[in-house]
Structure 1
Amino acid sequence: MVKLIIVVLALAFYAMWQLMNVYNLSRKMKGTLSENSTVKDNELQGKLFVVYFAAFFAFVAWQLIEYGPRLLPESASEHGKITDWLMNLNLIIIAIPFVITHLFLAFFTWKYSGKNGQKAVFYSHNNKLEMIWTIVPAIVLTVIIAYGIKSWNTITALPTEGMQEIELYAQQFNWTARYAGADNKLGPNNYLKIEGANELGILMDSTTSQDDKIVKGEMHIPVGVPVNFKMRSRDVIHSAYMPHFRSQMNCVPGMSTQMHFTPTITTAQMQAKLKNPKFKYVLLCAKICGSSHWNMQMDIVVDTPTDYKKWLAEQKTLAETLLAPAPADSAVVVAAK
């Protein structure tokens, strides 16, 4: 199929080339073929420019209407609204000069197309214009940078109290979430302790570790409560990406990273908004980490504080799983015949 498409395209280009040769030959026979463009050619090119830009802006407008709402899902965190506002501000600031300059380009191409006896003015320098298009962009960029720094400081500032600590542990090709227990402190870890059931290398001789809780497949977080994610990786660089919360942070082997946000919309509320009872927030890996990178994801459920506490209370602690005594082997009695 691909070869057939290539052959068809090649034949189409060849046919166009032959048509151009026939057209030039006919003009040569009529004596109208010239290396220099005519006034008629210039006027045609000017009109075509106007038509092209009209079609171009219509296409851009259609794309914004059709695909604009699909760029990102609705923000479901406090700092997600700040991020979206900053991104939209940048898009508007970029779009205004983009539209104005292209409108001028189309207008000037049509209005001042080449005519006999008309010579273009050579305008070499204007200090006033130089000042305008230097100072105005500098002021705009200063405002964007200042607001960006303010937004970044707001996003990265850790709450002083009431924050839920959760560790995200990345490995090819799954996520593991570890919740701090009643003390709201995650126990220490060491990669040298990774063995058997202790796949996160938790130091179980620490009292802060024994009440931690580990979950896989689906994690829960409370709405309206700041959640701080501490991240590690076992093998390669992964990237924890939660699009609905506008949060992304690399998980790097040998070091710990962190990010935090405050959820604002529960899963049930988002399901009602989208009219999709199967909707769930998702944690993705945004780094190409291997052959099954595409499938490295974890569902996120945003609960009310009451439902979250109930769910968390149902999860087993590490003391109950890793330190629980192994069941005694049952004796096998073989009856002699």
Structure 2
Amino acid sequence: MTVFLIIVVVALFGITLWQMSKIFKLSQGKRADGSQVANDEDNNLQGKLMLGFVIFLYVLTIYCFTQYHSFFLPESASAHGEDYDKLMLISMVLIMFVQIITQGLLHFFSYKYRGNKNNKALFYADNDKLEFIWTIIPVIVLAGLIIYGLFTWTDIMNIDEEDGDPLIIELYAYQFDWRARYAGEDNVLGKANVRFIEGVNTLGLDASDTYAMDDKITNELHLPVNRKVIFKMRSQDVLHSAYMPFFRAQMNVVPGMITEFSYTPTLTTEEMRTSEFMVEKVATINKIRREKSKALTAAGDEALENYEFDYYLLCNKICGTSHYNMQMKIIVESEEDYNAWLATQTQFKEQISAQASN
């Protein structure tokens, strides 16, 4: 009902503006020449408006970049993220450079060459030199970006399990949560299939596979800093997408198949929390939360807790009603802290034994 009333109000407001424009037009009286063709006065007005609009556009762009820089992501927390950010920066600089020049020329020419009865338009069919310039320059620039992007993408997606001592982790997605599965001391994930899901075996591990016996299933994702991690991703139901923005990582999680992505974390959770960017951002968020808490406490509700930064694994596909809340905490820590945490986690064979004894 509320939505319907809003639509009615907006529609009535639009009708009101339309009627007011008709009254305004009638109050101006008839044009001196009585025609519907734009005269020099109209052309001068439109030319000045075009010039004013491009100036407004530039001022708005500068304002947005200076005022909303805190909404950008901070430095990447993964090794490959530096190349990713560099490619993004180059693309944005080129886009802004071309946009500033073309918009400026478009609106300036609209003003300079506005209609005038004493001027006669110059027309020529073509200009091979100009066409060559505005064709070959974009071709060279785009070819450079595409080639650089392909090399960067190849480096990111070149997943080699024999390279060094990578950590193998499975990310398991289902409506509407995540689970992580760590390989045991053999660093090999056991076989799994959704058909095996039963009781404590929520990820469908194959109990007949010896490699699965020492696997550990967790609801938090702990990663050792400066060690390559290979993620093998599986979905139980619908299409999900594993999205880790601070690591510049995203990969679709597709039912019926295993997708892969890898990166090397370079900043621990504590290091990111103490970075200048994040300290400023957290302070801004907590200031907003304190202001909202005043209204909440006045109404007898609990105040909002202070926000503390954490990495999170999110779902970036609209996978259902609770998609917005499908997330898992990521903790990047030292190798020693990671090993100590992993040692406290329960192995799959222990879960099976406990279920059998019960």
Match of 1:27 among 25, 30, 37: 30
2:264 maps to: 262
Paired residue secondary structure (1:36):
coil
1:133 maps to: 134
Q: Report whether the alignment pairs 1:84 with 2:85.
A: yes
Residue 68 of structure 1, CA deviation: 4.0
TM-score under structure 2 length normalisation: 0.86
Paired residue secondary structure (2:266):
coil
CA RMSD of aligned residues (A): 1.7
CA contact (8 A) 2:200 2:355 kept: no
Identify the range of structure 1 (95-104 vs 252-261) with the bigger mean alpha-carbon deviation.
95-104
1:65 maps to: 66
Match of 2:322 among 271, 289, 292: 292
Match of 1:316 among 333, 337, 346: 346
2:313 maps to: 283
TM-superposition CA deviations, 1:151-171 (whole Å, max 9, x none): 001101124121000001111
Residue 254 of structure 1, CA deviation: 0.8
Paired residue secondary structure (1:283):
strand
**Rounded Cα–Cα distance in structure 2 between residues aligned with 1:144 and 1:325:** 56
Residue 46 of structure 1, CA deviation: 1.3
For 2:320, give the aligned amino acid: G
2:20 maps to: 15
**Rounded Cα–Cα distance in structure 2 between residues aligned with 1:38 and 1:108:** 18
Residue 37 of structure 1, CA deviation: 2.1
**Rounded Cα–Cα distance in structure 1 between residues aligned with 2:10 and 2:132:** 53
1:253 maps to: 255
1:174 maps to: 177
CA contact (8 A) 2:80 2:156 kept: yes
CA contact (8 A) 1:191 1:201 kept: yes
Paired residue secondary structure (1:77):
coil
Match of 1:184 among 187, 205, 226: 187
For 1:213, give the aligned amino acid: K
Moved over 6 A (4+): none
Percent of matched pairs sharing the same residue = 43
Identify the range of structure 1 (5-14 vs 303-312) with the bigger mean alpha-carbon deviation.
5-14
Q: Report whether the alignment pairs 1:209 with 2:212.
A: yes
**Rounded Cα–Cα distance in structure 2 between residues aligned with 1:303 and 1:290:** 32
TM-superposition CA deviations, 1:129-180 (whole Å, max 9, x none): 1111111111111100110011001101124121000001111111110001
Residue 117 of structure 1, CA deviation: 2.5
Paired residue secondary structure (2:353):
coil
**Rounded Cα–Cα distance in structure 2 between residues aligned with 1:220 and 1:152:** 26
1:334 maps to: none
Match of 1:230 among 229, 232, 244: 232
Residue 103 of structure 1, CA deviation: 1.0
**Rounded Cα–Cα distance in structure 2 between residues aligned with 1:71 and 1:317:** 40
For 1:21, give the aligned amino acid: L
1:37 maps to: 38
TM-superposition CA deviations, 1:167-203 (whole Å, max 9, x none): 0111111111000111111111123211111111111
CA contact (8 A) 1:73 1:243 kept: no
CA contact (8 A) 2:310 2:330 kept: yes
**Rounded Cα–Cα distance in structure 2 between residues aligned with 1:45 and 1:168:** 58
1:123 maps to: 124
Residue 12 of structure 1, CA deviation: 2.1
For 1:298, give the aligned amino acid: M
1:332 maps to: none
Alpha-carbon spacing, 1:19–1:325, altered in 2? closer, same or farther (3 Å): closer
CA contact (8 A) 1:181 1:212 kept: yes
Paired residue secondary structure (1:230):
strand
Paired residue secondary structure (2:260):
strand
2:159 maps to: 158
1:240 maps to: 242
Residue 325 of structure 1, CA deviation: 6.5
